[in-house]
Structure 1
Amino acid sequence: MQTATLFDLPAIQTAPLSASKAAPAKKARRPRKVHASVPLTPSTTIPDELIRDADWIVVSSSGGKDSQAMLSYVVRRAKALGMLHKVVVVHADLGRAEWEGTRELAELQARLSGVRRFEVVTSGVDFLDRVEIRYGKLKAKAEKEALERGEDPTQAKVAPAWPSSAARWCTSGEKRGPIRTLYTRLTAELAHLGRPVRILACIGQRAAESDQRAKLAEVEIDLGASNGKRHVTTWRPIHAWSDRKVWREIARSRLPYHPAYDWGNRRLSCVFCVLGCNNDLVNGARRVPKLAAAYAKTEVKVGADFKKGLSMQEIIRRAAALEATEGPAARPPVGTAMAAHVGRAMTAKYRNRQAVLYGLAA
């Protein structure tokens, strides 16, 4: 980025701007107001103290391995403190965008853990429909700004409508927003306390997942979700955990995990996540071809690739190439993913205990 020198300044300061080329004045953003009762820093970062201080312990479950391991860990500590009754598991249902059976699995994991309350929230809008709606708004904005600059609106460059690592609107719109509606209901249930309700929001984000997540604090106040009626503290219980530790916790808990991991996936619950690795995306196209075709159709409508540098059409092409050389995707034995991290012996014990305790297939 070039900066003006001392010799450039007079010209920059005095050069007249034509009315048609003048940039529209940007509206100053209003600073977010935080209720005076909301603490800016958590009173403690000690797990047992966080659990004791909370009125509600809300565990967000995607049905994936990290939230599953987190659920097991949090429930174990809550039980030891005699506070399991505070735990609520919430699943943000993403509809057809997530792997089949994810919602049911999240509920099963909660029930088998001993949690009595399982909640499902949803935005009520299909993900691909939301992409098209967003595209329409971005297109209208780009055309309006082009007109204000005196340019041809038909040539206006429209920002990508798909989410990205820099614009994860899917997380806020499909998960964070709907989950906050649950916070509102839980707060109303304890209105008789006569003080702000303390909610401990448990999220299964780990530092090992990305550089961005490594920078997140293990415990922090969620200023956006907090107000005069509720104080929300975000806790990332497994933030420092390795993949091996996650799988060891799953093996210890004996809770069933999603078969997509045995198929080779690294992430869940969306079949096609813009943050997912190429292997996950191709695997999704092989397992759920109709959904991949729907994403490709939306790409055409919004004029942009699903993922920067990688279109869904290309993902489908790679999936078809694998099908041609390897044949239809087969389902590996249950425990394949776990065995890669904790070994066959521990995996065999895990499967046998599942069969005995829950009547699930070993």
Structure 2
Amino acid sequence: MQTATLFDLPAIQTVPDAPAAAAPAKSKRKKRTVHVSVPLTPSTTVPDEMIRDADWVVISSSGGKDSQAMLSYVVQRARALGMLDKVVVVHADLGRVEWAGTRELAERQARLAGVRRFEVVQASGADLLERVEIRYGKLKAKAQQEALERGEDPATAKVPPAWPSSSARWCTPDAKRGPIRTLYTRLVAELSHLGRPVRILECIGQRAAESTARAQLAEVEINRGASNGKRIVTTWRPIHAWSDRKVWREIARSRLPYHPAYDWGNRRLSCVFCVLGCNSDLVNGARRVPELAAEYARTEVVVGADFKKGLSMREIIRRAEALEAAEGPAARPPAGTAMAEHIGRARTSRYRARQAALYGLAA
């Protein structure tokens, strides 16, 4: 016999004006307060003045073309000011879900640019795929509990998607933003003798041309979420207004090596399979790293949802396999293919020749 619950008591049902039993009130998340010392707006938006005023200039490098171009641009300005010693390059290591060699490339780019301090941060514990499964377990438990509170069968509870999405980019604070802020804490401790809040200028390679959401971002703003009584963090997006062509021209000028995934045809670089990536990037990833694609497909089964809304990893793998069957295994494109598409073969040839002369890289 099924045990009666509060929802079955006749007293509740026989009182005409009694409201329906309400679910327990959810505990409100404590509102985060910002220290009174943190300003609302930056004191300046002039690049050289921001570099002069900063105690640390922290450049976030994914190893991709945008952060690479930004690195080159910011380092050039800091060197001209005689302040290269305050520049730190940080790479958030994403583990198995990022393109092979990305961490090593980011470090090489920093060293060749003349930056002496390169830091690697990484989220502790589970990686992205493991976090998706953990998140699914929590969302499922919550949905079932809420169903019980409504007097419904928990087995029929609808579980929200556990994968990151454009509207729920929880992967960014988990894998990048949080670990980078631990670096800020260490940098602040190194300058504790200043006796005032440490000024950090964080440089991020986001561009308006990437998306409507990024187009709405300010080029310079106070990062009040990362600031506190010990540090004031100013976010600077140095290449926010740059076009793809300008990015590639800066890479050519800098002579720094870029990731070969771009020559394979990728538009973005970070996670091999990013929910914000275009379909061709995802198919390219499945062709280049099929074993990782298979792990994503297995995770889809576990959490009962497609990796990307309207596009499953199973379908991405199917498209990759169809291309392999039709074209055969793709031969690696010549180095410089991506750059040549944006700035021409002549300038690309000069870039490759200068790399060979300066760094001993194959032309």
Q: Which amino acid aligns with 1:51?
A: I
Aligned residues of 1:201 and 1:233 also touching (Cα < 8 A): yes
Q: Which residue of 1 aligns with 2:324?
A: 323
Q: Which residue of 1 aligns with 2:272?
A: 271
Q: Which residue of 2 aligns with 1:121?
A: 121
Length-normalised TM-score, structure 1: 0.94
Q: Give the SS at the match of 2:118.
A: strand
Q: Give the SS at the match of 1:90.
A: strand
Q: Which amino acid aligns with 1:234?
A: T
Aligned equivalents of 1:136, 1:240: Cα separation in 2? 41
> Deviation digits for residues 135-171 of structure 1, max 9, x if unmatched?
1111111111111111111111111110000000000
Q: Which amino acid aligns with 1:283?
A: N
Q: Which residue of 2 aligns with 1:215?
A: 216
Q: Give the SS at the match of 1:199.
A: strand
Aligned residues of 1:287 and 1:329 also touching (Cα < 8 A): no
User: Quick check: 1:348 aligned with 2:349?
Assistant: yes
Cα distance change on mapping 1:197 and 1:18 into 2, 3 Å: same
Cα distance change on mapping 1:15 and 1:86 into 2, 3 Å: farther
Query: Considering only aligned residues, what root-mean-square deviation do their CA atoms show, in Å?
Result: 1.1
Aligned equivalents of 2:17, 2:295: Cα separation in 1? 51
Length-normalised TM-score, structure 2: 0.94
1:127: Cα distance to partner? 1.2
Aligned equivalents of 1:161, 1:15: Cα separation in 2? 40
1:322: Cα distance to partner? 0.2
Sequence identity of aligned pairs in percent? 82
Aligned equivalents of 2:26, 2:212: Cα separation in 1? 32
Aligned residues of 1:180 and 1:225 also touching (Cα < 8 A): yes
Aligned equivalents of 1:16, 1:335: Cα separation in 2? 73
User: Quick check: 1:181 aligned with 2:192?
Assistant: no
Aligned residues of 1:201 and 1:235 also touching (Cα < 8 A): yes
> Deviation digits for residues 63-103 of structure 1, max 9, x if unmatched?
00000000000000000000000000000000010000000
Q: Give the SS at the match of 2:318.
A: helix
Aligned equivalents of 2:51, 2:19: Cα separation in 1? 60
Q: Which residue of 2 aligns with 1:60?
A: 60
1:15: Cα distance to partner? 7.3
User: Quick check: 1:292 aligned with 2:271?
Assistant: no
Aligned equivalents of 2:295, 2:132: Cα separation in 1? 12
Q: Which residue of 1 aligns with 2:19?
A: 17
Unaligned runs of 5+ in 1: 1-13
Aligned residues of 1:264 and 1:283 also touching (Cα < 8 A): yes
Q: Give the SS at the match of 1:234.
A: strand
Q: Which amino acid aligns with 1:307?
A: K
Aligned equivalents of 2:350, 2:19: Cα separation in 1? 75
Q: Which residue of 2 aligns with 1:8?
A: none
Aligned equivalents of 2:38, 2:18: Cα separation in 1? 48
- Number of residues paired by the alignment? 347
Q: Which amino acid aligns with 2:20?
A: S
Unaligned runs of 5+ in 2: 1-15
Q: Which residue of 1 aligns with 2:200?
A: 199
